[in-house]
Structure formats: C-alpha cells, structure tokens
Amino acid sequence: MKYVSEYRNAVLVKGVIEEIRRAVTRPWTMMEICGGQTHAIVRHGIDQLLPPEIELVHGPGCPVCVTPLELIDKALAIASRPDVIFCSYGDMLRVPGSHHDLFSVKAQGGDVRVVYSPLDAVALAEKNPDKQVVFFAIGFETTAPPNVMSVLQAQRLGLKNFSILVSHVRVPPAISAILDSPHNRVQGFLLAGHVNAVMGYHEYPPLAEKFQTPMVVTGFEPLDIVQGILKTVQLLEAGQVEVANAYQRAVTFEGLKPAQAAIHKVFMECDRKWRGIGMIPMSGWCLRPEFDDFNAEKRFDVGTIQSEESPLCIAGQILQGLKKPFDCPAFGKECTTENPLGATMVSSEGACAAYYRYGRVELKGQSVTS
C-alpha cells in the first residue's frame, strides 16, 4: 500500500537496526508512550530484532485502558436508558465497569452502536430527533479534533439531542508524572507521533529539560519506530537532552493550529483520574461551561454510582512501564483477550493484549525467532 509498504520495507528496517547496534554501547531503557506503537512493535517483532542493551517499556498511551472506572459506570448507566442511542468506538464495549460492560448493556436491549467517527453520531442525532444521542468521547490529543468538531457541528445544526461523555487525556502531564516517580526507570521517550501531528511538540522541551530526558517524536510503521529508537539511542549515548523529530513527514514543531484552536474553543484543561494510575493534575480535557448543553454528564442525572475496582491485575504498573505483561501471574491464564481481567488486555492498544495476541507468553525464553 502506497506510503505504508515503504515504511515496512524489511531491508530499510534492518539497516536502521544495524545502525542502532553500532550506536549502542550500554543498556538503555526507553518508553514508547503510545499503545499504537506498542502494538506495531510486538506485531512486527521489532523488539526481537533490537540489540539486548535496549529495553522498551510500554507507556500509558492507551485511551481505552486509562478511562476511569467512574466514567465507564456512568456510560453504562446512560447507555441503559431507553431514550438513549449510545455511540462509542468499538474497543470501549468490552471494557469492564464495576459490574458489567457495554456489551452486556447491548445484550439487555440498550441501543449501543459502534461508530468510526463522532460525526456519525451527530448524523444519528439528526436522523433520530426523538432520541438522545450520546458519544463516548475518549482519547488523547489525537481524537480531540474530531470530538470537538462533533460538538461544533451539533451546535451549528441546532441539535438539542446530542451530547458527549468526555474522558480526554493529554500526554505531557502523563510523561511528567512518570518521570517524577521515585520508581522511574525510563531514560528516553519515543513520543506519540499522531498526538504530535495535532499538537506539535513545543510542549515537550521544558519537560525534557526539567527531567534531563531526551524525547523523540516517533511514527507508527516499523521504519518510523526503529528510526525513533535510533535517534533516542544517539541522544542518550551523546548525553544530549533535546526533543528531536523522527516523524517529519507528519509532524511540525507547531502542529496543526486550526485543530488546536478548535480544541481550545470547546475544551479546557482539568484534573483527570487515569485508571490504574490515579489522579494526574490538569492531565485531562473537559467541556467548557459554555458547552454545558452538549455535556452528557450534565444532561443525564444518573444518580450516585458506587464504583469499585478489584485488585486483581497489575494493569496499573504495566501502564506506568514498571512491569511487563508476563510479570503478571494472571497473564495468559485467568486473563486472556476473551476474558480480560484488566483494560490493558481489553483494548487493541493495550500492552497485555499486544503481548497475548502476538504470543509473547510462549515466545518468552523460547528460541522461535528465525
């Protein structure tokens, strides 16, 4: 496929890995922040090809995994209402709330629909004036532009039956929280290129400076990822602290100004709890008060919900890069993709799902690499 296959070219990828091999002189631990990158790394087996000095730890960049339990419970309550068409990206359907998930709500007769764009939900609201259409607006900066556009579009159309349930999170406060932890092992970051495509990377140099940690804007195809790793290794080996861009075909320093303007028009920064991690101050986006009419949390009074987590899996530590999925005693046994114990196993961007689907449990310590 044009503009994809070029970046999966085995000869080019192996060439860059050779360069990494030559550049590395001692062990380095780096984190790929985005779950999409985790999946690409495991799917293409990039981690198997890297020199042993390089350890990749998987970051919290999976919006499905970090959506707080309280909000999922709220989503389940709203989706169960007979007057509601509840729209969501597909992955959210299997994420457990305190007692059930959206699949169960659907099986009980709730009108839960998978959409590929929030604008599809706006169209549903137009077509169904007698129903309340709610979109579950989750994600990092990447999905913020379409999500805010859905609100602006609904406003333009004068729709009174469209609202969004917002659980937006931002990368920079998460990086700050990880690097601020006394347990931190991460020495360099592969930044989430899609986030940077929207936001640019002007937010990151102060972070790199404060924590003396180099960061490299990195894409998602195998060649992009190994180039990001190479640049990170080069910076680490040279003792240079800077934010470099290894994804220049998509990312500029300033990012997409009109998208950022739309985001700031609709959203404002707020405290956000991350599932498995905890409250990270000012790490989220929520709707500005002038958009209260489109705020599902304001529109639907779902009463008091008692949310309760069970301490059964180590998703929290995996999301922070402290543990690998196969460090979990439940991984691949009680906890599988069809019977997940935690969100990291549910989401297609979750680290546990990546490891499970692509067989890291069997491959660990076994020589099946060709």
Of the candidate residues 313, 324, 331, 351, the single one contacting another protein (CB under 8 A): 313
Task: Number of residues interacting with another protein: please give it, by CB under 8 A.
Answer: 77
Shortest approach of another protein to residue 61 CB, angstroms?
15
Work out whether 61 is an interface residue with another protein (CB under 8 A): no
Shortest approach of another protein to residue 315 CB, angstroms?
4
Pairing status of strand 28-34 against strand 54-61? parallel
User: In angstroms, what CA-CA distances link 172 with 145, 168, 282?
Assistant: 17, 13, 10
Work out whether 4 is an interface residue with another protein (CB under 8 A): yes
Tokens encoding 152: 């602006």
Identify the residue whose tokens are 């068409």.
Answer: 85
Shortest approach of another protein to residue 40 CB, angstroms?
11
Among 105, 112, 158, 106, CA closest to 134: 112
Identify the residue whose tokens are 């990001």.
Answer: 228
Residues 148-177 that bind another protein (CB under 8 A): 177
User: In angstroms, what CA-CA distances link 8 with 40, 178, 188, 224, 248?
Assistant: 11, 31, 24, 9, 17
Shortest approach of another protein to residue 298 CB, angstroms?
22
Pick between residue 99 and residue 257 the one whose CB is nearest to another protein. 99
> Contact region for another protein (CB under 8 A) — 24-32, 96-104, 247-255, 298-306?
96-104
Q: How far is CA 104 from the centre of its chain?
A: 24
Residue 314 phi, psi dihedral angles, 5° rounding: -105, 30
Pick between residue 95 and residue 197 the one whose CB is nearest to another protein. 95
Pick between residue 95 and residue 235 the one whose CB is nearest to another protein. 95
Work out whether 62 is an interface residue with another protein (CB under 8 A): no
Work out whether 103 is an interface residue with another protein (CB under 8 A): yes
**DSSP for 53-120, written as a single string:** TEEEEEEEE-HHHHS-HHHHHHHHHHHTSTTEEEEE-GGGGG---SS--HHHHHHTT-EEEE-SSHHH
Pick between residue 236 and residue 354 the one whose CB is nearest to another protein. 354
Work out whether 337 is an interface residue with another protein (CB under 8 A): yes
Shortest approach of another protein to residue 328 CB, angstroms?
10
Cβ atoms of 287 and 266 closer than 8 Å = yes
Of the candidate residues 155, 252, 260, 317, the single one contacting another protein (CB under 8 A): 317
Shortest approach of another protein to residue 274 CB, angstroms?
8
Pick between residue 289 and residue 370 the one whose CB is nearest to another protein. 370
Of the candidate residues 46, 64, 175, 186, the single one contacting another protein (CB under 8 A): 46
Shortest approach of another protein to residue 359 CB, angstroms?
2
First to last CA, the chain: 26
> Contact region for another protein (CB under 8 A) — 51-59, 112-120, 140-148, 243-251?
112-120
Residues 239-298 that bind another protein (CB under 8 A): 273, 275-280
Task: Give bridge partners of residue 342 from the DSSP assignment.
Answer: none
Shortest approach of another protein to residue 45 CB, angstroms?
2
Residues 191-230 that bind another protein (CB under 8 A): 222
The phi-psi region of residue 192 (left if phi > 0; otherwise alpha if psi is between -120 and 50; otherwise beta) is beta
Q: How far is CA 73 from the centre of its chain?
A: 20
Among 338, 312, 306, CA closest to 98: 306
